[in-house]
Copies of this chain bind each other. A is one copy, B any other.
Amino acid sequence: MSRRFVNSLQDGETLDEVFLLADRQLRANRNGDLYLLAQLCDRTGTVSGLLWNVEEDSVSHINQGDYVRIRGKVQLFQGNLQVILTHINAISSQGIDLENFVPKPTEKTTEHFQRLTEILLNLENPELRGLMECFLQDEEVKQGLIYAPAGIRLHHAFHGGLLEHNLNLSETALRIVDLYPKVDFDLLLAGIFMHDLGKLRELSFETSFSYTDEGQLIGHLVIGVEMLNEKIAEYENKTGQEFPRETKLRLKHMILSHHGSYEHGTARLPMTPEAIALHHLDNLDAKTNEYMSLIESDPNSGSNWTPYQSNMQRKLYKGGLDSTDFD
């Protein structure tokens, strides 16, 4: 019998399948009874599993990252599917077809990477082009870009999301070159490429999304500068030429300042035209996508508004009943 993937589960079906355990938590209901809340995932997605009335000891041997065999029943609850478990146990990874659990790059992601490569290898500035080449030929960076999300919540929170965000900014920049003749677009495009690259080490995104220790202690801005320093050393080794000091400073400055203001955790305030343009291009893409995604994923079809979003201190408007033009 073929595998039941997460994205094909249906209300009411009985399930006996292996999943990767992305997270596990013991919670208590108001009566003081414990239940297990498990995040079950494969390469197509994640579904919650609940096991009622457990003892702390009986599930202590099941850990995040294990492969688990579960039995249970799929149920629709408040618009989402979940699995009511009757059994869960860790199993060995031997004999498991890992391809079912590791996400594969979609065709779209592959196209994104090719298009971004094309853009960066066409920079006119030879040093920047050479530096970009070093990044693009680094298999780890390439794999990271294909799988990394742009964040763990909010905008572009999916495999390949960082790449899509990166490309959207680059495309926008390319199309407005003639409107800002005094802005150095080669520098801007390199800065766009670099600005969130530190997320490859800030985030853990193999199966589910979370922050690494390094990510929380150092942050993707500074990690990005470290990655730049490493790649510049590689560039200089390879070419035997010193990378221009002025360009290096400006690139670092763009990475460190792209959050724009101290209250948003920037390390520096933007002080060059390219840095301020990067900051606002970033916001344009990130915020527009965040709004669209909150509106599209809202399950309350009866309301013109999303629930209150406390992080942005507002509700979003999904549209009035007579607004057929704006859905």
Residues of A within 8 A of B (CB): 26, 28-32, 34-35, 50, 52, 56, 63-64, 75-78, 82, 84, 125, 168, 171-172, 175-176, 179-180, 182-184, 187, 213-214, 216-219, 221-222, 225-226, 229, 244-247, 249-250, 252-253, 256, 262-263, 265, 267-273, 276-277, 280-281, 283-284, 287-288, 291-292, 295-296, 302, 304-305, 312-317, 319-320, 322-323, 325-326
B217 and A271: CB pair below 8 A? yes
A221 contacts which of B187, B263, B267 (Cβ < 8 Å)?
B267
A288 and B246: CB pair below 8 A? no
B contact residues around A63 at 8 Å (CB): 302
How close is A137's CB to chain B, nearest CB, in angstroms?
A: 23
Minimal Cβ-Cβ distance residue in B for A314: B269
A219 and B268: CB pair below 8 A? yes
B contact residues around A225 at 8 Å (CB): 218, 222, 225-226
Known: A78-B28, A222-B222, A326-B187. Contact between A280 and B288, CB under 8 A?
Answer: yes
A256 and B84: CB pair below 8 A? no
How close is A262's CB to chain B, nearest CB, in angstroms?
A: 5
Known: A125-B325, A218-B253, A222-B225. Contact between A295 and B271, CB under 8 A?
Answer: no
B contact residues around A216 at 8 Å (CB): 271, 305, 315, 317
A168 contacts which of B34, B52, B179, B226 (Cβ < 8 Å)?
B179
Q: A29-B31, A267-B267, A280-B283 are in contact. List 10 more A-B contacts (CB 8 A).
A: A56-B78, A183-B292, A184-B325, A221-B267, A246-B322, A246-B325, A250-B317, A269-B312, A271-B314, A272-B291
